[in-house]
Structure 1
Amino acid sequence: MKPFADKKITVLGLGGVGGYVGALLADAYPHVTFVARGERGRSIREKGLVLHSDYRGERTVRPERVVETAESLETQDYIFICVKNYSLKEACLSLAGCVSEGTVIVPVMNGADPGDRVREYLPKGTVVDSLIYIVAFANADFSITQQDKFANLYVGIQDASAPCWQKCCDVTDLLNIAGVDCTASRDIQAEIWKKYILNCAYNVETALYDNSIGQLREDPKKAAIYEALVDEAWRVALAKGIHVTQADRDAIIYRFYYKLQYDATSSLQRDVGAGRPTELETFSGYIVREAQRLGVDAPVSADMYRKLKEKCRV
Structure 2
Amino acid sequence: MNVLIIGAGAMGSLFAGRLKAQGANVFLYNRRNSHVDKINQSGLTIVERDNQETMVPLTVVHEVSGASYDLVLVMLKTHATKNVLTQLKDSFSVNTLFVTMQNGLGNLETISAIFPNNPVVAGTMGCGASVESAGRILHRGWGKNWIGHSKDAAAQKKIGGFIEALNCSGLETELAEDVQTIIWNKLFVNVAFNSLTAVTRLRNGDILHTNEGQQLLERVVTEALQVAKAEGVSVDAQQTIAKCIKMGNEEIATNKSSMLMDILHKRKTEIDAINGAVSKLGKYHGIPTPYNEMITGIIRVIEANYDLQVD
User: What per-residue deviation string (whole Å, max 9, x for no partner) do you get for residues 274-298 of structure 1?
Assistant: 2112112122211111100111121
Return the letter of the residue paired with 1:119: S
Cα distance in 2 for residues equivalent to 1:214 and 1:176: 28
Q: 2:57 aligns with which of 33, 47, 62?
A: 62
- The answer to whether the aligner puts 1:307 opposite 2:298 as a matched pair is yes
Q: 1:155 aligns with which of 125, 147, 151?
A: 147
Does structure 2 conserve the Cα–Cα contact (< 8 Å) formed by 1:11 and 1:79? Answer: yes
Partner of 1:93: 86
Partner of 1:29: 23
User: What per-residue deviation string (whole Å, max 9, x for no partner) do you get for residues 138-158 of structure 1?
Assistant: 23322221125x14211113x
Partner of 1:139: 132
Following superposition, the deviation at residue 55 of structure 1 comes to 7.1
Partner of 2:120: 127
Return the letter of the residue paired with 1:19: S
Does structure 1 conserve the Cα–Cα contact (< 8 Å) formed by 2:126 and 2:143? Answer: yes
Following superposition, the deviation at residue 211 of structure 1 comes to 2.5
Return the letter of the residue paired with 1:199: N
Q: Could you tell which deviates more after superposition, 239-248 or 253-262? A: 253-262
Q: Per the alignment, do residues 196 and 30 of structure 1 end up closer, same or farther by CA in structure 2, a change over 3 Å counting?
A: closer
TM-score (norm 2): 0.88
Partner of 1:282: 273
Q: Per the alignment, do residues 34 and 162 of structure 1 end up closer, same or farther by CA in structure 2, a change over 3 Å counting?
A: closer
Q: Could you tell which deviates more after superposition, 14-23 or 33-42? A: 33-42
Partner of 2:308: none
User: What per-residue deviation string (whole Å, max 9, x for no partner) do you get for residues 192-230 of structure 1?
Assistant: 000101211211111112233343222212211110111
Partner of 2:283: 292
Q: Per the alignment, do residues 21 and 253 of structure 1 end up closer, same or farther by CA in structure 2, a change over 3 Å counting?
A: closer
Q: Per the alignment, do residues 30 and 225 of structure 1 end up closer, same or farther by CA in structure 2, a change over 3 Å counting?
A: closer
Q: Could you tell which deviates more after superposition, 194-203 or 209-218? A: 209-218
TM-score (norm 1): 0.87
Following superposition, the deviation at residue 124 of structure 1 comes to 2.9
Partner of 1:53: 48
Following superposition, the deviation at residue 47 of structure 1 comes to 1.1
Identity %: 21
Q: Per the alignment, do residues 22 and 151 of structure 1 end up closer, same or farther by CA in structure 2, a change over 3 Å counting?
A: farther
Partner of 2:231: 240
Does structure 2 conserve the Cα–Cα contact (< 8 Å) formed by 1:48 and 1:60? Answer: yes
Partner of 1:176: 167
Report the RMSD for the aligned CA atoms in angstroms.
Answer: 2.3
Cα distance in 2 for residues equivalent to 1:98 and 1:312: 33
- The answer to whether the aligner puts 1:19 opposite 2:13 as a matched pair is yes
Partner of 2:107: 114
Q: Could you tell which deviates more after superposition, 190-199 or 138-147? A: 138-147
Partner of 2:211: 220
Following superposition, the deviation at residue 56 of structure 1 comes to 9.7
Partner of 1:3: none
User: What per-residue deviation string (whole Å, max 9, x for no partner) do you get for residues 15-43 of structure 1?
Assistant: 11001100011122353222133244432
Does structure 2 conserve the Cα–Cα contact (< 8 Å) formed by 1:44 and 1:66? Answer: yes
Return the letter of the residue paired with 2:14: Y
Return the letter of the residue paired with 2:281: E
Cα distance in 2 for residues equivalent to 1:114 and 1:121: 11
Structure 2: gaps spanning 5 or more residues: 306-311
User: What SS does the corresponding residue of 2:60 show, helix, strand or coil?
Assistant: strand
Does structure 2 conserve the Cα–Cα contact (< 8 Å) formed by 1:76 and 1:98? Answer: no
Return the letter of the residue paired with 1:300: Y
Following superposition, the deviation at residue 163 of structure 1 comes to 5.6
- The answer to whether the aligner puts 1:252 opposite 2:246 as a matched pair is no
